[in-house]
Structure 1
C-alpha cells in the first residue's frame, strides 16, 4: 500500500492508511471534536445523517506552531451518511460559487489495526486535487502520530513538501 493518494477518476482522490486499532478508537478521532482538533480541525460535528459539520483549522492545535487564536481555514458541510464505527460521509464546502465536494471515511478492522480509506470526490480541478491530496496525506500522517502517541511534524513545511510531490505524481 502506498502512503500517497491515488486518483480514482478526474474528480476524486483516495488515500488509505493502516492505523493502530481498535476501530472504536479511530472512529473517536474522526468524530469527537476534541480528538479531531488534534489531527485535522476542531468544530461542530452533529452525529447523525443530516447533521451539520464545521471544520475550524487551527494549526497551533495540531503542532503547537503559530498563534493559538489564528484560524487557517474554515469549511462546513452536512453529514450525508452516519454508520458508527464504519462510515462517515459529509459535504465539504469549497467556497465561492463552486459546488461542494464530498468526503467519505470508511473504516474496517484488520486484525488489531484499522484500515481507514478517505475518498474526496467532486473536486473541481487538478489544482484542487493536488491541494486536497497533500492536505489529507499530511493530516492522516498526523492522525497516525496521535494514535501512536507521538508528536506530529511541523505542518506547513510538511504540507508544502507533499504539495510539490503531488504536483509531479498526479496526472
Structure 2
C-alpha cells in the first residue's frame, strides 16, 4: 500500500520556532487521549509513560511501532532507537492545551493546542527553542510525518510504512520552509 502524505500547514515563526496545523477527523477528547496516554501515543509518535498534571513523563523512541508492516529501521535513526527522554509537563489543561519540554528540555518546548471544530479537532503544534543544528527543517519533517500518523490513527486507519511518509515529509517541509 502506497502512503500519501497530507502535509499540515507549517510555518517558521522565528529562527528557532515552527508551527504546524492539522485538522483531525476525531473529537477533541479523542485527540487529547492520543497526546497524553502512552499506549495511544506510541502508535503515532513515542510511547513511554502517560503525560499528566503530575509534572514529568517519559518519551521512548521506538518507531517500529508506527508502521503496520515490518519495515527496516533506517540506519541514520538507529542510534536513537530505544532512547528515553524525561520530559516536564509545563501546562496541562485538558482537553485544550498540553505544553512540554522536548529532548529532555534540550530541544525546546512543544505546545499542543486543540480546538473543537464540530466532530473534528484543529491541532496547532508549536515547537520553540529548537537548538538542533538541523533546526526547523529536521523537526518540521519529523512533526509532519508524526501528525500524519496521528491523523491515520484517530481515523482508525493504518500506515504500511512510516518511513515512506517521513521521506515525503522531508521534501514537503523543505519546500514549505524555503518559501
* TM band (smaller chain): 0.7 to 0.9
| Number of residue equivalences | 165
String of CA shifts for 1:29-81, please: whole Å, max 9, x gaps. 111110001001100234115x112111212211143589x835443310000
2:168 to 158, 161, 165: 161
What is the CA–CA distance in structure 2 between the aligned matches of 1:138 and 1:46, rounded to whole Å? 21
From 52, 58, 63, the equivalent of 2:62 is 58
1:92 paired residue among 102, 112, 123: 102
Could you tell me the TM-score, scaled by structure 2's length?
Answer: 0.82
In structure 1, what is the Cα distance between the partners aligned to 2:9 and 2:133?
Answer: 16
Deviation string for 1:99-136 (max 9, x for gaps)? 44000000010111110111000012572211110011
User: CA–CA distance in 1 between the matches of 2:167 and 2:86?
Assistant: 24
Query: Partners in 2 of 1:22 and 1:73 — Cα distance?
Result: 31
RMSD between aligned residues: 2.3
Shift of 1:88: 0.3
Structure 2, unmatched stretches of 5+, are 1-6
Q: Which has the higher contact order (CA 8 A, sep 6+)?
A: 2
Q: How far does residue 168 in structure 1 lie from its aligned partner after superposition?
A: 3.8
Aligned ranges 1:73-152 → 2 under 5 Å: 73-93=83-103, 99-124=106-131, 127-152=134-159
